[in-house]
Amino acid sequence: MWARGLLVGLLAVTTGAYAQDNADAAAQAKQFVESLHFRSGEIAVPEAQAHFRLGGEFRYLEKADARRVLEQFWGNPPDDSVLGMVVPTATPLDSDESWAVVVTYSDEGYVSDEDAAKTDYDALLKELKEGTEQENAERKKAGYEEIRLVGWAVPPRYDGDSKKLYWAKELDFEGSPQHTLNYDIRVLGRRGYLSLNAVSGMSELETVRAGMQQLLPMTEFDSGARYADYNADTDKLAGYGIAALIGGGIAAKAGLFAKIGALLLGLKKLLIPLVLVLLAFGKKILGFFGRDKQDKA
């Protein structure tokens, strides 16, 4: 009986401490989010010569605050390439269902879309899976978890009129309790492309998919920097097409996955509450004393 009393007392103390830690963490998270400077409506992204016309469904964080979220709030390494972050209004950053869209830009040149209509996305997926497996050995050496590409969460689709490409992958990160959704949008421009990347758990696929489809028409290049403004005589041509934008996703963004690793599911979604561990440990203690009584009998 004393063992049961000891366990109950231990659980009571631990549960109280855990609840207090949770309350303190929640208060700190709320205070952090309240310190951010959200913007809405027309948002200029001068580094990419692009802009957002956000509806009420979204708010925007400029570069400094976006990096604060990624680096201070979510614990990722510094990354100067981040230009901003689009945050859904309905899911605050400190909520369990939070997700956000990281905005970056590549100025590698005009990406030809001539291969879009003839790309075999099933064959591309097979190649991606094989490439991901080959990269895992190097990821292990670098100290990162292995990644398994499960398949398309949303098959690639290119809109030739708007010059926008989107797709989503379902990924299995070693050690993660659930699969990860990586949703990508590429907006093609005259001198490069704008990248919008959202990461969440697969359980939030429908929410993220709906949100990204809402965001898609709200994103445009400025006049003079649009795809139609390309001048073959003066502008740089990228050395790849649409298929490479998708096909290079995992290889090119291995660093990005590491940088926003905490965003994948949120640290609070990965941690097992200590009280559950103690409950499991407690069952072992009680089981041990139960066996001891049986042995004595």
Could you tell me if 235 and 111 are in contact, meaning their C-beta atoms sit under 8 angstroms apart?
no
Could you tell me if 165 and 242 are in contact, meaning their C-beta atoms sit under 8 angstroms apart?
yes
Per-residue pLDDT of the chain (297 residues; tens, 9 = 90+): 544 455 455 555 555 555 566 677 788 888 999 999 999 999 999 999 999 999 999 999 999 999 999 888 887 778 899 999 999 999 888 887 889 999 999 999 999 999 998 999 999 999 999 988 888 888 888 887 888 999 999 999 999 999 999 999 999 988 888 898 999 999 999 999 999 999 888 999 999 999 999 999 999 999 999 999 999 999 999 989 999 999 764 433 433 444 344 344 333 333 333 333 333 333 333 343 343 434 433
Per-domain boundaries in the chain = 2-27+273-296, 41-265
Measured distance CA(16)–CA(20) in Å, rounded: 6
pTM of the model: 0.77
With b for 16 or more beta-carbon neighbours within 10 A and e for fewer, the 41-65 pattern comes to eebebeebbbbbebeeebbbbbbeb
Q: Which CATH class is domain 41-265?
A: alpha beta
